[in-house]
Structure 1
Amino acid sequence: MEAQKRKEREPCPRQKANFLSYIIFGWTIPIFFKGYKKELNTDDLYQPLREHKSDGLGDRLCEAWENEQKQARMKNRKPKLLRAGFRVFGWEIALLGLVLLTLEMLFKVSQPFFLGKLVAYYSRQQGDITEAYLYAGAVVLCSAINVLFIHPYMLSQLHLGMKLRVAACSMIYRKSLRLSKTALGDTTAGQVVNLLSNDVGRLDLAVLFVHYLWIGPLETLVVTYLMYREIGYSAIYGVLFLLLFIPLQAYLGKKTSELRLRTALRTDERVRLMNEIIQGIQVIKMYTWERPFAALVAMARK
């Protein structure tokens, strides 16, 4: 039987999109037109971007990890995967952090400042109308720039998180192929499944919010100062009251991580049990042990 030849997919338009097309998502228009004319299927999907392919990402991260291990042995310290990840993706993380800092500190914070100036203009008896136009234009401009750039920024963050996840999955897969027999005895299939499905997937969310850890305090100081100029010490008291919830959130986050760890351990046990049942399914069927093992599976799923 002859194998069916797969249709070569078209290259992704984003690969050659210019800056304006990237900002306004103009490169997505062709697939929308195609979806308007007919129902889309898997053949209509584009090829993955070159920078998203797992072989290249895995090679870069594995090379950085080997260099990190060499430096750790020379300096007599424990190697850290985080350092290797920063060597590969550090410039992208820094660039996106700079973009977010500009959006948050320059445009988002400036918008209420100019709005306050506009309101103050109408509170005065006299004034040049040009001043009101300038303040109103500044408010609209800050809002427009923030709306125009925040979505490409979020898409870039999601792409970066995906690249981190793909590189980590490729590294885990390569490591699993090189495990010794002793290590295979200590590593269950459930642990590998958890790594590839749950643990690595957290990189997508971590990339989205990691920059707020250092931008948030800076923005809080600036906003507190602006509110202090308007309403005095009441602004400081209000911000301090909000900061009191940080220890509570830290405590709840710690408890959530403990519960997630317990859930992961139960998932490891359940996957290991299912793997053993599948391997011995012929013996189970021969001795009609379906009900006892079904009870074991039901107990593991509770």
Structure 2
Amino acid sequence: MEEPLLDHSSSPLPEAVSSRSLFTDAGLFSKITFSWMGPLLDLGKRKTLDLDDVPLLDDRDSVHGIVPKFKSNIDSISATEQCSDVTTVKLVKALVLTTWKLIIVTAVYALLRTITSYVGPYLIEDFVSYLNESPRSTKRGYLLVLAFVVAQLMEGLSSRHLLFRSQQLGVRVHSALIAIIYQKGLALSSQYRQGSSSGELINVVNLDAECVGNFNWSMHELWLLPVQITLAMVILYSTLGLAALAALAATILTMLANLWGGSSKISKRKL
């Protein structure tokens, strides 16, 4: 309780330090297998971790590295649109420009996970036909097993990396928004502060910024839905033929009928 929260004599200002994390300096194989976390996990197994034992964040993941880039994107968008007001659309554009590389990375991992998850169902018919063959080809059996194992391995790795990158993206967005809101709160006039309570600002920081940061978990679902439907239809068509198209048409008609029935019930209740 007697120690100061910030020791300026021993720790320099964050703005003056350029750090690189263990993840940034790790090699390709270390990043794929997450072995770059091995030394930290081994140290945590042997003793309780202190603050000095935790490696520093990279500049791209820290607040003092994200906020200036986020502010510059907002200023450039404001200069392009010739409007100084920060609207919701402008804020979304600035967030996308700040984190577009991670968005592309998560999109690639999400697509790879989706494709590899359909390899197993697609190979079921080949496995059944191979087992029913009387003179079985050993080479074909090994190829089928190898394809299935590789697909499952790729699905597992892509799922883990999608989870890790999505958390990294969410932390960047969350940190940038909280820093901007905090700096804006410090710059507010006393007259404006009287019109809004401190609870509203706390709600924005704790709830709204967190919801925006967690949006990255579902932002790829919109464009992945047609991909999933297409892959499912390819598997069904290879097995059922034209009957798969009839099943798809029946499913669409059922969904439209349920949508029309639900909307009509809601309108009747309002009346």
Tell me which moved more, 210-219 or 122-131: 122-131
Gaps of 5+ in 1: 252-302
1:5-39 residue CA offsets vs partner (Å, 9 max, x unmatched): 7689x974223111111111111111222122223
Distance 1:108 1:210 in 2: 19
SS in structure 2 at match of 1:39? coil
Matched, 1:99 2:109: yes
1:273-293 residue CA offsets vs partner (Å, 9 max, x unmatched): xxxxxxxxxxxxxxxxxxxxx
Aligned to 1:121: 130
SS in structure 1 at match of 2:60? helix
Aligned to 2:268: none
Aligned to 2:140: 131
Runs of 4+ in structure 1 off by over 3 angstroms are 1-8, 76-79, 124-127, 237-248
SS in structure 2 at match of 1:184? helix
Structure 1 contact 224–235 (Cα < 8 Å) conserved: no
User: Aligned-residue CA RMSD in angstroms?
Assistant: 3.3
Structure 2 contact 119–151 (Cα < 8 Å) conserved: yes
Distance 1:58 1:41 in 2: 27
Distance 2:259 2:55 in 1: 46
Q: Which amino acid aligns with 1:102?
A: L
TM-score scaled to structure 2, two decimals? 0.78
SS in structure 2 at match of 1:52? coil
Distance 2:71 2:138 in 1: 62
Matched, 1:55 2:67: no
Matched, 1:39 2:48: yes
Aligned to 2:158: 149
Q: 1:37 to 1:92 in 2, by over 3 A?
A: closer
Distance 1:245 1:214 in 2: 24
> Which of 220, 230, 238 pairs up with 1:229?
238
Aligned to 2:205: 196
SS in structure 1 at match of 2:57? coil
Aligned to 2:190: 181
Q: Which amino acid aligns with 2:104?
A: A
Aligned to 1:279: none
Distance 2:47 2:195 in 1: 52
Shift, 1:126, TM fit: 4.0
Q: 1:77 to 1:15 in 2, by over 3 A?
A: closer
SS in structure 1 at match of 2:43? helix
Structure 2 contact 173–212 (Cα < 8 Å) conserved: yes
Matched, 1:168 2:180: no
Matched, 1:209 2:221: no
Identity, in percent, stands at 18
Distance 1:169 1:45 in 2: 23
1:145-166 residue CA offsets vs partner (Å, 9 max, x unmatched): 1112321221011101100110
Distance 1:50 1:77 in 2: 25
Tell me which moved more, 229-238 or 112-121: 229-238
SS in structure 2 at match of 1:201? helix
Aligned to 1:263: none
TM-score scaled to structure 1, two decimals? 0.71
Q: 1:239 to 1:151 in 2, by over 3 A?
A: farther
Gaps of 5+ in 2: 13-18, 264-271
Q: 1:242 to 1:198 in 2, by over 3 A?
A: farther
SS in structure 2 at match of 1:50? coil
Distance 1:92 1:57 in 2: 13
Q: 1:147 to 1:125 in 2, by over 3 A?
A: same
1:72-101 residue CA offsets vs partner (Å, 9 max, x unmatched): 237x99652111111211232123212321
1:214-264 residue CA offsets vs partner (Å, 9 max, x unmatched): 11222112212312332334752685489579969xx9xxxxxxxxxxxxx
SS in structure 2 at match of 1:145? helix
1:117-155 residue CA offsets vs partner (Å, 9 max, x unmatched): 122222334442311221111011100111123212210
Q: 1:80 to 1:7 in 2, by over 3 A?
A: closer
Distance 2:253 2:10 in 1: 61
Matched, 1:112 2:121: yes
Structure 1 contact 118–135 (Cα < 8 Å) conserved: yes
Distance 2:171 2:53 in 1: 22
Matched, 1:20 2:2: no
Q: 1:81 to 1:2 in 2, by over 3 A?
A: closer
